[in-house]
Amino acid sequence: MRRAQAIGINMRHLFRLSIAAAGFAFAAISPLSAATLITNDRGEWLSGVSGLLTLNLDTFASGATGGSFAVGNTVQPGNMAFYSNMNGYFNNNFQITGSTGSGNFLGHTLASAAQTWNNWGTGAFLLSDTKTSTNSISLRVTFRSGGVATPVNAFGFALGLGGNSGASGTITVTPQGLGPQTVTTFNQASGLKFFGVTSDTQTFGFADITVPDVSRYIILDTIEQGVYTAPPPPAPPPSEVPDAATLLCVGTGLAGLGMLRRGRAMGLI
């Protein structure tokens, strides 16, 4: 009787160890890949994005003021239009609005040869009002589909800081659902700085862009959105692949379970 009890105890212990080993082996071959990636490398950002949509700022949008600007007309060197209202600059896929804390301001320009302060080596772009000690400057990029606000899991845009002779500085980008992200811009001679986000765990309805430094203003260009698909998880290292001993341990545990049940049925345990 004591021998039967000892056999039963050993079998139960072996069974528990075997199941634990099996669980470890399963976890080793089932890695998770969920992540939110923030990058300043557009090539890296593009690697997992499909269905790319880009806002073309080379033409005027509805509501442009400051001159005789018709929707769809090409922005000419020296033109400066304004969308200083709650609608801002928009089309079916994007909407950009600008705020001063007490009102709305959003500019749209293409530098002429004489306007060196706005020549960033790109085409037409959007810009905020200038930061002072008493205002609060921000731009909001809202993502849309068919003219309706629609969250996305991948977006990006190019940023610069006007003022102070185009010196490098900091801009804060706050995507919906994420904390503030600090972007250190290039100086004007080096061009605009890319900022992109992809995620397979959340979506983003908008992103807010703010500037903390007085006498600076935000420059925004090449606004994009798309669909991010995470790459498949990498194969586990050889050391994490269940070996023959692990599989034998699992099999022994299952056999032990059978013996345990048989012993109970026969009244030995």
- The percentage of the chain sitting over the pLDDT mark of 90, rounded to a whole number, equals 69
Residues in Cβ contact with 116 at an 8 Å cutoff, skipping those fewer than 6 apart? none
How does residue 64 score in pLDDT terms, banded at 50, 70 and 90? Answer: very high
Could you give phi then psi for residue 43, rounded to 5 degrees?
Answer: -60, -40
Matching CATH number, 36-228, of 1.10.1740, 2.60.40, 2.60.120, 1.20.1050: 2.60.120
User: Domain coordinates of the chain in residue numbers?
Assistant: 2-29+242-266, 36-228
Q: Please say if the pLDDT value at position 263 is more than 50.
A: yes
What CA–CA distance (Å, rounded) separates 43 from 45? 5
Q: Read off the pTM.
A: 0.76
Residue 248 has pLDDT above 70, yes or no: no
CA distances, 204 to each of 93, 108, 124, 149, 195 (Å):
14, 25, 26, 10, 14
| Alpha carbon distance 140, 148 (integer Å) | 15
Residues 225-254 have a mean pLDDT of 71
**What pLDDT shows up at residue 256?**
58
Q: Per residue in 131-147, pLDDT tens?
A: 999 999 999 999 999 99
| pLDDT bucket at 101, cuts 50 / 70 / 90 | very high
Q: How confident is the model at residue 230 (pLDDT cuts 50, 70, 90)?
A: confident
pLDDT in tens, 155-164: 999 999 999 9
Burial of residue 48, with CB atoms counted within 10 A of its CB: 0-12 exposed, 13-18 middle, 19 or more buried: middle
